Structure 1
Amino acid sequence: MRPPFPPQGPHRHGRDRGEHGGGPFPGGPFAAAFAGAGRGFPGRGGGRGRGPGGPGGRGRGADAPPPVDRAEVAGWFTGRLPDDWTTVAPELIVDRDEITVVVTVPEPPTEADETPAAAEAARSGRIARFREDTRARRVEIAEAAQERFGRTVSWGARCGEVTELFTTVSAPVMTRLRQSERLVLDTLVDAGVARSRSDALVWSVRLVGQHADEWLTQLREAMQSVEEVRAQGPKLG
């Protein structure tokens, strides 16, 4: 029996076409490549996968979205979301390809003798109702955000201890591995842990995310502090 992948946390991922902004091909660094399908690939033929910045360009091509100020993103969504959706600021997860917006919705009324299973079902039902009732507005907001920030917008909701993601983006990530690194992936495949090198790489990333969560959180907080200082600029005079 193949060992299971490491669990992905409390989120239950769904997929719903139309809840992303921007049509069938979302924005981000690969939008131009999809739009140019059938007309050749003008970007091929040089650079061996590197962006215009050369070896120091970190692989970001000319179509990669510019960095964003996370405080600006948070402020924009807080101001744009309707007041009757939530009384709590939305949780935002931002990377180069995607902005995930998780809205906290009010919990449903509870009964004194309500079982945990019934309470969880009620919260899931409240999330489902929020998803259906807000679909059109969320698409409108997602399209405006994609135009402003150059990233696909995904949505989710939280009700009590239940969190569900409505839409998520699976973005391709290209990399080159040396033999010793490829052997790690091949070992996982040969042992039946993963079906392919791609699956093995996903498995490895999830495993690191679980066991290095505290360190990754500290790293993100440090990066946020750097962004805030950079945005303030030098104090002259």
Structure 2
Amino acid sequence: MHATHSSGKGRGHGGGRGFRGAGGWQQADLPPADDAAAWLTGRLPDDWFVGAPTITVDREEIVIIGELAAPEGSDDNSAAAAAQGRIGRFREETREARMQIADEAEARYGRKVAWGASIGETKAIFTHLAVPAMTRLRHDERRVLDTLVDAGVARSRSDALAWCVRLVGEHTDEWLTGLREAMAEVDKLRAEGPDL
């Protein structure tokens, strides 16, 4: 999501790249994607998913995950295998249509599109981006990553950092959701404000 700046640099205060709207300079050249979920919900075939799909958008990617109807006649022991089979079938049978919709969405929103499907607890995301994120870490922060590597939790510092991000996301989901909603409201109020 958006970076937090403790100094004024990078936000139009001597950082060389002035503030240019929602998301700062990082998103200045991206087309807005405020209506992406609505557009995609209207564009997707009605018979693909049970209910509306979950659609999330960031700076690089739009991820569409839809719930599929559960296969009939599978018992508790074979339910996960049946769900994986149904998801695999959906992936193959809808490939061409999904590619066409993705091309249209990428042209409209300037972001790649990833697809996924779920049945109950079984979920698969078919193809999605793994975007590098550069950061500078101080000694104590590097020690955290090195401990995870030394303990075998991660293969490298970059794997350890990704593991930390996933862990924070899992344990602070409600807080992050509130933060995203608050940022969206600030962006809305900023857009409604006077042009200076």
- Report the more deviating stretch, 222-231 or 52-61: 52-61
Can you list the C-alpha shifts for 1:4-29, whole angstroms capped at 9, x where unaligned? xxxxxxxxxxxxxxxxxxxxxxxxxx
Task: Structure 2: give runs of 5+ residues left out of the alignment.
Answer: 1-9
Query: Could you say which structure has the greater relative contact order, defined with CA pairs below 8 angstroms and 6 or more residues apart?
Result: 1
Can you list the C-alpha shifts for 1:69-119, whole angstroms capped at 9, x where unaligned? 1xx101110111112223521111211111110122222223xxx521222
| Percent of aligned positions that are identical | 56
What is the count of residue pairs matched by the alignment?
Answer: 179
User: Does structure 1 retain, via aligned residues, the 8 Å contact 2:71–2:82?
Assistant: yes
Aligned residue for 2:77, secondary structure, equals helix
Match of 1:167 in 2: 127
Can you list the C-alpha shifts for 1:43-67, whole angstroms capped at 9, x where unaligned? xxxx9xxx962699867287x6344
- Structure-2 separation of matches of 1:228 and 1:178: 36
User: Does structure 2 retain, via aligned residues, the 8 Å contact 1:124–1:162?
Assistant: yes
Q: 1:194-233, aligned counterparts within 5 Å?
A: 194-227=154-187, 233=192
- Structure-2 separation of matches of 1:65 and 1:145: 13
Task: Structure 1: give runs of 5+ residues left out of the alignment.
Answer: 1-46
Aligned residue for 2:127, secondary structure, equals coil
Aligned residue for 2:162, secondary structure, equals helix
- Structure-2 separation of matches of 1:119 and 1:180: 45
The TM-score with structure 2 as length reference comes to: 0.75
- Per the alignment, do residues 101 and 215 of structure 1 end up closer, same or farther by CA in structure 2, a change over 3 Å counting? same
- Per the alignment, do residues 198 and 161 of structure 1 end up closer, same or farther by CA in structure 2, a change over 3 Å counting? closer
- Structure-2 separation of matches of 1:134 and 1:222: 36
Q: 2:25 matched to 1:65? A: no
Q: 2:92 matched to 1:127? A: no
